[in-house]
Every structure is written in structure tokens, then in C-alpha cells.
């Protein structure tokens, strides 16, 4: 299994614990936890990460049932062997119903203050709390998903023009849903259902070529 190990907040290189420090260190961000990004996701590694996420009670969100023609194309998680996971992410790719080409979505669940979801969304970090506080006070949610059978609100947050980014909270963690291209954000207007793979892993998941949107910066 090929893995890239980087800083969740900036995507830079990290140094493992050693004689000089008991923590993982990023040259730019200081003490952090390592982000592991799979270079090619498959059933075996997904099952392994889903099992650990379930043990740590950290959601591993995936649209399910998957829209026709959609595949899992990326997987990442933050944490090391000494502690609990602090973030998970899945990327999915598939055709748009309007026939305008492929679309991608990355779903991130993370603990407060990590900064990984904010980097994927292209917003100021480390988490969306301050932004969402103002949005929730001013207006109703911009989208709803179904999580564990319950409608869950998401709010659109300012993001670069190449993507749409939504954020909210589910199961006590931040939830980000980021789509490319930006107009693919309409996928979230259809109240999709997200399933926690840590609770049950469907055997029918199809895997595709790696998405560039969960890749680590060079």
C-alpha cells in the first residue's frame, strides 16, 4: 500500500517523533498529527481504515447508496499508532446527471482545530466554527444531507472558484463536503445520504483511479 505522510493543515512534510521531540513535527505548523493519504485506494485498505475509525468512534463518511457510475477514488486519515484518529476523508468521482463531465466530492470528518478540512475546502482554518456561527445566526442552512436517518444541515462557505464547499457538524465532529467543479455543489441540494463506513462496510463499493483532489501538494 503506497502512502503519503504529510501535515494535515498545510500538506507539507512531517518529521516523526525522535530524540528531540515526542510529537510529529511540521516545519511550518509545528506539532501536529500525521496525515496518511493512500495513493491507490482498494477494498483491503478501506476495510482496515473503516475498522479503525469504528474503534475510535470517528465517522468515515461515504455516500450510500452511491449514485450510478460513481466510485471511491481517494482515502486519507490523520493519526498515528499511539493515539486515536483525528480525521478521515473519502473522495468519490462520477458522472454528473446533466452530462457535463465528471464531478468529484471529498467528505472530511475531523476533530476541532486540525485544519485538514479547511485546507481541502480552501478556507481559512483551522476549522469553520467562527464562519458557521455567523451563517447560522443569519440564515437557514444551504443544504441538507441525511446522516443516520436524520436531516443534517450544511452551510456554504467561501471557497476558491474551482470548487463548492459546505461545512456543518455530524456525530460531534466537523463535516466538510467539497465538490469540483463548483457547479457540482448541486449534488448536496438533493439531500444525499451519508453512511458511516466504520459501522458497516458495503461489499458493493467500486474503486476508481485516484482523484487529484485528495492528493498531497508537491
Give me the residues paired with residue 4 across strands: 37
| Prediction pTM value | 0.94
- Which residues, at least 6 apart from 73, have a Cβ–Cβ distance to it below 8 Å? 41, 91, 92, 93, 104, 207, 208, 209, 210, 211, 214
What b/e readout covers 59-90, taking b as 16+ CB neighbours within 10 angstroms?
bbbbbbebbeebbbbbbbbbbbeeeebbbbbb
The alpha carbon torsion through 138, 144, 166, 135 (nearest 10 deg) reads 10
Percent of the residues in the chain that have a pLDDT greater than 70, as a whole number: 95
pLDDT tens by residue, 144-178 = 899 877 889 999 999 999 999 999 999 999 999 99
pLDDT at 64 > cutoff 90? yes
pLDDT at 37 > cutoff 70? yes
Amino acid at each position: 500500500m503506497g502512502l503519503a505522510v504529510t501535515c494535515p493543515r498545510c500538506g507539507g512534510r512531517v518529521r516523526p517523533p525522535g530524540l528531540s521531540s515526542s510529537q510529529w513535527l511540521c516545519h511550518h505548523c509545528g506539532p501536529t498529527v500525521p496525515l496518511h493519504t493512500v495513493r491507490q485506494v482498494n477494498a483491503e485498505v478501506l476495510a482496515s481504515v473503516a475498522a479503525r475509525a469504528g474503534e475510535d468512534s470517528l465517522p468515515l463518511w461515504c455516500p450510500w447508496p452511491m449514485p450510478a457510475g460513481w466510485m471511491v477514488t481517494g482515502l486519507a486519515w490523520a493519526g498515528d499508532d499511539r493515539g486515536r484518529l483525528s480525521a478521515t476523508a473519502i473522495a468519490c468521482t462520477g458522472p454528473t446527471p446533466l452530462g457535463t463531465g465528471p464531478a468529484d466530492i471529498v467528505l472530511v470528518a475531523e476533530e476541532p482545530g486540525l485544519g485538514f478540512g479547511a485546507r481541502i475546502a480552501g478556507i481559512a482554518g483551522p476549522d469553520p466554527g467562527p464562519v458557521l456561527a455567523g451563517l447560522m445566526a443569519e440564515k437557514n442552512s444551504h443544504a441538507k444531507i441525511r446522516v443516520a436517518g436524520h436531516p443534517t444541515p450544511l452551510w456554504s462557505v467561501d471557497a476558491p472558484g474551482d470548487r463548492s464547499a459546505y461545512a456543518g457538524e455530524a456525530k460531534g465532529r466537523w463535516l466538510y463536503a467539497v465538490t469540483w467543479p463548483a457547479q457540482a455543489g448541486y449534488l448536496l441540494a438533493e439531500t444525499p445520504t451519508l453512511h458511516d463506513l466504520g459501522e458497516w462496510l458495503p461489499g458493493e463499493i467500486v474503486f476508481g483511479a485516484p482523484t487529484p483532489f485528495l492528493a498531497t501538494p508537491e
